[in-house]
Structures are given as structure tokens and as C-alpha cells.
């Protein structure tokens, strides 16, 4: 019985733990249209860990929401995304080698999905959102 409780507490405590590459990076929590992400930035890469319970069988809208959260947390453009529905990794383009500016505190965004699709330079199609901070 005690063994089970110890294992369960370790698993629950690791839900939003960063990967090794992002272990020392500060975290910023962002709420984007009901998806809550812990975003960490390190050396031109970003990690967005989704921390809320949410039905997400495919990346779909999560890809767009994670990219939005990463861009708001880093101030840089996301040029590539990978990962799964829980942990999304992004490669950043901050312009001419500029350092990623730190942004404090948690922020929530209310987003409305527009009736249009956008195709990025690398061929990804995604929904367009109009988001406001609150």
C-alpha cells in the first residue's frame, strides 16, 4: 500500500517537470484558449508542457496554441514544432542572434478561432486565431 502511494506521488509530481535540456530554464505559465502550458526557453529552443487535463487525441489546435504560447513567452518566432500532445518542442528564430528576453509572470489569453487557414513557409497549415490577454 505505502509503495503504491510513494510511486503515485512521484508520478504526479513529475507531470510538468522539464526535460534535461530545460532543467535550469525559468518557467512561464500561459493559458491559451483553455490550454495551459508551462513554457521554458533555452538556447534557441522552447518546451511547452501542457499541464491541464484536456481531451487531445491529435495535435490539431494544440499545435497552434502551443506555438502562440511559445511566441508570447519568448518574443521570438517559432520556425518548427515537434513533440506530442503533452510536450511540444519548438525551434525559435529570434532574429540576428538576439537573446531571448525574459518575460515575468503568468498570463491568460482568450482566443477566438477565425474561419481561415494559414499555410506557413514550411508547408504546415493551421487555424488562425485572434487572441487577447486578460
Tens of pLDDT, residue by residue over 67-121, are 999 999 988 889 889 888 889 999 998 886 655 555 455 567 788 888 777 777 7
Q: Find all residues with CB under 8 Å of 80, minimum gap 6, and list them.
A: 90, 91, 122
Residue 104: per-residue pLDDT: 52
Query: How many whole angstroms separate alpha carbon 16 and alpha carbon 71?
Result: 19
pTM of the prediction?
Answer: 0.65
Q: Residue 16: which pLDDT band, with cuts at 50, 70 and 90?
A: low
Domain spans of the chain, in order of start: 25-133
Percent of the chain with pLDDT over 70: 75
Amino acid at each position: 500500500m505505502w509503495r503504491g502511494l510513494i510511486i503515485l506521488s512521484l508520478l504526479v509530481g513529475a507531470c510538468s517537470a522539464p526535460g534535461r535540456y530545460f532543467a535550469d530554464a525559468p518557467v512561464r505559465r500561459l493559458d491559451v484558449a483553455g490550454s495551459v502550458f508551462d513554457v521554458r526557453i533555452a538556447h534557441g529552443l522552447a518546451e511547452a508542457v501542457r499541464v491541464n487535463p484536456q481531451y487531445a487525441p491529435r495535435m490539431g489546435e494544440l499545435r497552434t496554441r502551443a506555438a502562440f504560447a511559445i511566441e508570447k513567452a519568448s518574443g521570438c518566432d517559432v520556425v518548427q514544432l515537434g513533440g506530442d500532445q503533452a510536450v511540444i518542442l519548438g525551434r525559435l528564430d529570434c532574429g540576428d542572434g538576439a537573446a531571448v528576453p525574459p518575460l515575468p509572470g503568468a498570463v491568460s489569453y482568450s482566443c477566438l478561432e477565425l474561419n481561415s487557414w494559414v499555410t506557413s513557409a514550411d508547408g504546415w497549415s493551421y487555424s488562425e486565431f485572434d487572441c487577447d490577454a486578460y
